[in-house]
Structure 1
Amino acid sequence: IGNLPQILPYPMAAFREITESYGPMIPIMVLAERAWIIDDPRLLDELTAKPETFGKLCNKGIMSELRKIGGDGLFTSADHEENWGMAHRILIPAFSQKALRVYIPEMCRQAKKLLDALCKGSSQTDVDVPKWMTKITIETISMCGFSYAFHGLDKEEDDPFVKAMGYCLEEVQLNSMRTKIGQFINRKRQEQFDQSMKYVESVVKNVIEERRKSGVKVDPNQPRDFLDIMLSVADPETGKMLPDENLIHNCITFLVAGHETTASMLSWTLYLVATHPEVNERICYEIDTVCGDAFKEGRMLNESEIGKLTYTLQVIKEGLRMYPSAGAYAKDVLKDDSLGGVPVKENDFVAVSVYAMHFNTTYWGDDAEKFNPDRFNPEEEAKRHPSAYSPFGSGPRACLGAQFALLEARIILAYIY
């Protein structure tokens, strides 16, 4: 079992402890395989610069389990898979700054609905922050992605689709830590997983079929949502359209990745602001100053106003530094090579510990444990190694939706504060 007892059940904390104790690149054994834990941005840059040696790890651990949900979608496909390259090239333009401004009105509508829902409760009532952040982020990604409403903000009970997807996510995380015997013992849960996935896929298929049947002509230059793009835009390199199965996988990928990580980011941000009064005061002042007129006039925020929420963005980024939604990601070693001058062998894998890197005192100073949004003012950012902050990954496999999530988060925080 190698070093598993030292790593589980809290691998992120264990990775950080290992790199702080022994150095920026440390080998461990995971069952019979060798893994290298790294926490240095210079090593990350070298890793990213060698795609022929280091490829996305999709067939081991949590990633192999997540593939049961996302198939060959953007997040769970390997670098060499044709559908990953096609979807990546087709969807990159959908996340440009120009493209994202189309979604601002919908993001504002959902944020206003969240505010209205929260205001219905008594001031004495405790608010389940993660639950409400999950509700708004899944509603936002489903509307911006597919013009499909779950109406989660209109009712206490979750939609059956959301429940099914939540169960599937919980089960793949648990299954990734089970032995084969443990998986056999929990086969009833596997049966429920299979049923839940069938339901999730059936809903997504229905959304796609309804869009096709609608007969609405799509202008590729003015798409309504991500689904319009995937249905109407051909891969600029091959001229091919995305196959139906991959369409389903990418829709599920957007729904999962587009809500869970953003909900986590917002939940931690709200907690950190609530426990730091001086930050709370500054963020409230900025939002009142920048957005006050819009709220008084009862109109939605515009792109210019959102762009002026610079301290709010710093707060979000610092929250992501301390509590990254993805605390680590792995690369497969495809052939014998070296990293940081150290030989690595084919079939090893490299675990990039984002969490450990975000607390590396070489880059963040001796006060790395402190919540300080001013780390992300332009002057401080310019001094720092650009890869020291990597909550969205790096290189071609970096999260396509990073700017979408940061835009959504600023809007939601503006309405809350």
Structure 2
Amino acid sequence: MYPYKPIATLSLGAAYFLSLQSEKSVGNFLFNFATTFLFQSFLYAIWKVLLYPKVFSPLLGLPEPSGNSFWNGQYAEISAKPTGVPQTGWVNSVKHNGIIRYLGFCNQERLLIVGPKALSEVMVTKNYDFHKPEHIQYTLGRILGVGVLLAEGDDHKFQRRNLMPAFSFRHIKDLYSVFWGKGREGLLAMTEQIQKDAAANSPDPENPGEKKAELEVGSWASRMTLDIIGVAGMGRDFGAIQDPSNPLSLVYQQIFKPSRQTQILGLLLLFLPGWVVGALPVKRNNTMQNASHKIRAVCSELIKEKQEKLSRKALTDIDILSVALESGAFSEEKLVDQMMTFLAAGHETTASAMTWAIYLLCLHPEIQTKLRQEIRTHLPSLDDPSATVGALEIDKLPYLNAVVNEVLRYYSPVPITIRDTSRDTTIQGVKVPKGTRIIICPWATNKDMSLWGQDADKFIPERWMATGESPEKDKLAGNGGAESNYAFMTFIHGPRSCIGMAFAKAEFACLLATWIGRLEFELKNKEEMDEKNMLIKGGITARPSKGLHVYAKVVDGW
């Protein structure tokens, strides 16, 4: 970050000293301050943009991608492509030993950590040598609260330790019925919409023929996952499935919608403190502030309801909030932060995963058909409201779970994670100064051919399935065929790994089973949505920039 504080302090001192040598007018003082401030800023820019990264950096000599701009590094490629895509190219084209150095905007230095040994140091053995950058803390904190995702050091250890019971395997097993029930409710609503649209667009409304209509996948996925995290996380059904104009759903649509202003504010955060950028009188800041107030109000209301139940000793719910509240470890304000975290991150990431799953299954209709066959063979029809589906039924579907894992590998919902070194440290023996920007990129590591083989860039669910060819290969199938656990980075690893991993995978599997069991999907604009042509928007998660518009057809018989 631009060191405005020391430069401003030195400028004030210099302006005062210079003013003593002449008339002590306010105008003279301000002129001296502005002059010295700009001069020091110019010198700092020369040092930071040209001298340090090109001559004095202790990280010189590490492997780098070619084609650097003289003063802007790899920024042209980084800004032109979706988040994580340039890094995915570099990991398979730059010869490295686990660390790649590259330069970003104004030659700001970055270390891309991709090798298993380097990743284990950053995420496990030296985890607390690295923290989330200030601008990430500020921007995400407004919509996620300072919960377990953003907390650092001892505060993070405390929060994670006291939240773990809510995410235990035994507790998640009890939530499968919630996932399935909400998936069924959403699918029936989708079916009704498809049949209604098919009839409206048919020459003969009484006999529409093929029950097929256009859907935007992301909006349906977001509404379903919002209702799921509402029930499973807080014990409240938000009703987003039945109401497309649900106020909370609309708030999150505003938050996650990319805009030019968002990009500009993001650049400013590289040079200015968050409170300065957040105080700028622009529409995006007003949107974020209003959204934050609304989300906090919803979370506060839910917590008060639970506290009232607890006081009457009538709290028997199994949702995350109830478990956290019963622990007695969190103040009301801290509980609000945790609920904001799970509400936003919990539904947006799974909605992104669902979007990518339908996209990939459209590109591979043979996989979609095979998955549908397994689901229809082993799971009860959605037309049976009394049928229950739990962990036992879902976990016994090998192809469903293989598809879930492969989607999460191929298109990780969160493409990139950023850290800064909090002290001078080392990674694989390389001395890394305090303040160095560290990049962990699941999109790159998950497609690293040195870890996954030459078919790393292919969507192959079978890599996650045992074949019986040899005990060694079958053992590796649990890791998708990769020898290292660090080859799969979707949920990160170590103390900062995703606390809701089991929750997210179970929710994803249940939703995907309901969707594919009943519906057949086909891309609307096949050429535009080809992997080479598709535009991807970045943010907390990655999704197709124009949404995912598909033709959905009701497949009778289940």
Residue 237 (structure 1) aligns with = none
Q: Which secondary structure does the structure 1 equivalent of 2:324 belong to? A: helix
Conservation of the 8 A alpha-carbon contact between 1:52 and 1:334:
no
Query: How far apart are the structure 1 equivalents of 2:402 and 2:421?
Result: 35
Residue 169 (structure 2) aligns with = 97
Q: Over alpha carbons, which structure has the higher Rg?
A: 2
Q: 1:75 aligns with which of 142, 149, 152?
A: 149
Q: 1:166 aligns with which of 253, 256, 275?
A: 253
Q: Which secondary structure does the structure 1 equivalent of 2:125 belong to? A: coil
Shift of 1:213: 2.6
Please tell me the residue identity of whatever aligns with 2:462.
D
Match status 1:147 vs 2:219: no
Residue 293 (structure 2) aligns with = 198
Residue 137 (structure 1) aligns with = 225
Match status 1:389 vs 2:389: no
Residue 270 (structure 1) aligns with = 358
Shift of 1:117: 0.3
Report the CA distance shift for 1:63/1:312 in structure 2 as closer, same or farther (over 3 A).
Answer: farther
Please tell me the residue identity of whatever aligns with 1:311.
Y
Report the CA distance shift for 1:334/1:179 in structure 2 as closer, same or farther (over 3 A).
Answer: closer
Conservation of the 8 A alpha-carbon contact between 2:303 and 2:332:
no
**TM-score normalised per structure 2:** 0.68
Residue 410 (structure 1) aligns with = 509
Residue 78 (structure 2) aligns with = 7
Residue 465 (structure 2) aligns with = 377
**TM-score normalised per structure 1:** 0.89
Query: How far apart are the structure 2 equivalents of 1:196 and 1:118?
Result: 28
Q: Which secondary structure does the structure 2 equivalent of 1:343 belong to? A: strand
Conservation of the 8 A alpha-carbon contact between 1:231 and 1:242:
yes
Query: How far apart are the structure 2 equivalents of 1:355 and 1:118?
Result: 31
Conservation of the 8 A alpha-carbon contact between 2:118 and 2:427:
yes
Q: Which secondary structure does the structure 2 equivalent of 1:332 belong to? A: strand
Please tell me the residue identity of whatever aligns with 2:115.
D
Q: Which secondary structure does the structure 1 equivalent of 2:215 belong to? A: coil
Report the CA distance shift for 1:302/1:19 in structure 2 as closer, same or farther (over 3 A).
Answer: closer
Please tell me the residue identity of whatever aligns with 2:132.
L
Q: Which secondary structure does the structure 2 equivalent of 1:126 belong to? A: strand
Please tell me the residue identity of whatever aligns with 1:177.
G
Higher relative contact order (CA 8 A, sep 6+): 1
Query: How far apart are the structure 2 equivalents of 1:97 and 1:184?
Result: 43
More moved, 290-299 vs 185-194: 290-299
Conservation of the 8 A alpha-carbon contact between 1:19 and 1:38:
no
- Show structure 2 runs of 5+ residues with no match: 1-48, 50-71, 196-210, 467-473, 518-558
Match status 1:399 vs 2:498: yes
Q: 2:337 aligns with which of 249, 259, 264?
A: 249
Q: 2:132 aligns with which of 43, 57, 64?
A: 57
Shift of 1:16: 2.0
CA displacement 1:345-377 (0-9 Å, x = unmatched): 111121011111111111111122211001112
Please tell me the residue identity of whatever aligns with 2:268.
T
Q: How many residues align?
A: 405
Query: How far apart are the structure 1 equivalents of 2:108 and 2:257?
Result: 26
Shift of 1:271: 1.8
Conservation of the 8 A alpha-carbon contact between 2:173 and 2:391:
yes
Query: How far apart are the structure 2 equivalents of 1:268 and 1:374?
Result: 18
Q: Percent identity?
A: 23
Q: 2:187 aligns with which of 101, 107, 115?
A: 115
Please tell me the residue identity of whatever aligns with 2:144.
G
Report the CA distance shift for 1:398/1:308 in structure 2 as closer, same or farther (over 3 A).
Answer: same
Q: Which secondary structure does the structure 1 equivalent of 2:490 belong to? A: coil
Shift of 1:186: 6.1
Residue 238 (structure 1) aligns with = none
Shift of 1:292: 3.7
Query: How far apart are the structure 1 equivalents of 2:345 and 2:435?
Result: 27
Query: How far apart are the structure 1 equivalents of 2:379 and 2:326?
Result: 36
Match status 1:88 vs 2:160: yes
Structure number with higher helix proportion: 1
More moved, 375-384 vs 93-102: 375-384
Please tell me the residue identity of whatever aligns with 1:279.
I
